[in-house]
């Protein structure tokens, strides 16, 4: 994802903010949507300092996700960003599982 964001940034003159930290947990591939939602609450953390810096300049965000399986990760991250104060979240997923 860092390579993809770097290319998008250079080609489109976009500023990149890394807003999430992911804790190591077991593989989510075998979990259903509800199980993933529970797992994500402790797994993905919003980096508030980076989010504050981004929100000072932008209220709309393009959220990049590597793989769409159930949509739980994109949904969880979007909820965190909306609660933090972002007004609009656009989600771009690279692959579908």
- Assess contact for 8 and 14: CB atoms under 8 A: yes
pTM of the model: 0.80
| Consecutive H or E run containing 5 | helix 2-12
Q: What are phi and psi of 73, to 5 degrees?
A: -65, -50
* Each residue's pLDDT expressed in tens, for the chain with a length of 97 residues: 888 888 988 998 889 999 999 887 666 677 787 887 777 777 889 999 999 999 999 999 999 988 888 888 899 999 999 999 999 999 999 887 7
- Report the pLDDT value the prediction gives residue 25, as an integer from 0 to 100: 67
Contacts of 86 (CB under 8 A, 6+ apart): 55, 58, 59, 60, 61
């Amino acid at each position: 994802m860092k390579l993809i964001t770097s290319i998008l940034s250079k080609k489109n003159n976009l500023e990149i903010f890394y807003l999430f930290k992911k804790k190591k947990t077991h593989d989510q591939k075998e979990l259903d949507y509800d199980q993933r939602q529970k797992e994500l609450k402790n797994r993905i953390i919003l980096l508030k300092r980076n989010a504050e810096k981004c929100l000072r300049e932008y209220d709309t965000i393009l959220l990049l996700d590597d793989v769409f399986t159930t949509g739980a990760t994109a949904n969880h991250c979007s909820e965190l960003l909306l609660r933090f104060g972002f007004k609009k979240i656009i989600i771009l997923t690279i692959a579908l599982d």
